[in-house]
Amino acid sequence: MTTQNEFLSKAEDVADEVLRKTKHILPHLARFCLVSTFFEDGLRMWFQWNEQREYMDISWGCGWFLAALFVFVNLVGQLGGVAMVLLRLKVDIAVGVLFAIVLLQTVAYQILWDAQFLFRNLALIGALLLVLAETRVEGKSLFAGVPSLGENKQKTYLMLAGRILLVFMFLTLLRFEASPLQIIQIIIGSVLMVLVTIGYKTKLSSMLLVMWLMALNFYVNAWWSVPAYKPMRDFLKYDFFQTLSVVGGLLMLISIGPGGVSMDEHKKEW
């Protein structure tokens, strides 16, 4: 037991050291990864304008105008929201726009009936909530040195919801097969997911999940290895950037911590 505690303590020290050395670039990297899927999908709307419009027209029989309007809203909403988040301009509005885009696509592409895509969109919403939480600072109090409880409470619950929703991404990556490698992945992934959800040793478990998720992403979603004329390239690219956005959510957790409703926070009171 002592050896295990020493190992965890050393691992946490390494995580803290990494955080200290990257604290100036980590928030920017987290935001960039978070909005990457919206940036990629916005560009997709631009370069595949006719294909996307025809797909919507055929799927819903909504006519040329409404199909074109759908593509236009996705293009402008996503690229505009990305720019605002990266430049930190009206982030609340930008997150609201991107959240609306996620809901719009969930309905338009009938994602509600596909568990894998639905779970990934829920994880994406969790990542957006963490962007919103980062902008919530403690307001000024009537008394010097005393924080405003309202703003802090809002940030706390945003971070709790963000942590819980991020877990849905990992549920889509688990493959319940009998091979020893898959069993090990399920065990390790499940343990780390639980730790992130309850906010226990959050920085360390988030770092480990980032490494695990990035390795899986580059291995499973290697879209650059598929010829441009094959439809599979677009599917893999979509999955790659959605996963990268969830990585951004985990980096945000590393940067700003798990929030007040977490075991890490309550340990300070024990």
pLDDT digit string, tens, across residues 115-140: 778 888 888 898 899 888 888 754 44
pLDDT digits over 137-148, tens only?
Answer: 544 433 344 444
> What is the rounded average pLDDT of the residues 227-255?
88
The CA distances from residue 128 to 30, 82, 146, 187, in Å, are 11, 11, 29, 27
pLDDT confidence bin for 36, thresholds 50/70/90: very high
**When comparing pLDDT for 98 and 193, which is higher?**
98
The top-scoring range by mean pLDDT among 30-34, 77-81, 227-231 is 77-81
pLDDT confidence bin for 267, thresholds 50/70/90: low
> What pLDDT score does 154 carry?
79
What share of the chain in percent tops pLDDT 90? 28
Angle between helical axes of 180-198 and 149-173 (0-180°, round to 10): 170
Ordered alpha helix ranges (H), 174-201: 180-198
**DSSP, residue by residue, 15-40:** HHHHHHHHTTTHHHHHHHHHTHHHHH
pLDDT digits over 159-210, tens only?
Answer: 888 888 888 877 776 665 667 777 777 788 788 888 888 888 888 888 888 8
Mean residue pLDDT across the chain: 82
In this model, does residue 88 exceed pLDDT 80? yes
pLDDT confidence bin for 100, thresholds 50/70/90: very high
Taking alpha carbons only, the member of 35, 9, 204 closest to residue 134 is 35
Helix (H) or strand (E) holding 141: none
Taking alpha carbons only, the member of 4, 22, 57, 3 closest to residue 254 is 22
Prediction pTM value:
0.82
> What pLDDT score does 46 carry?
94
Domain ranges in the chain are 24-265
What share of the chain in percent tops pLDDT 70? 85
> What pLDDT score does 148 carry?
43
State the Cα angle at 212 between 209 and 218, rounded to 5°.
130
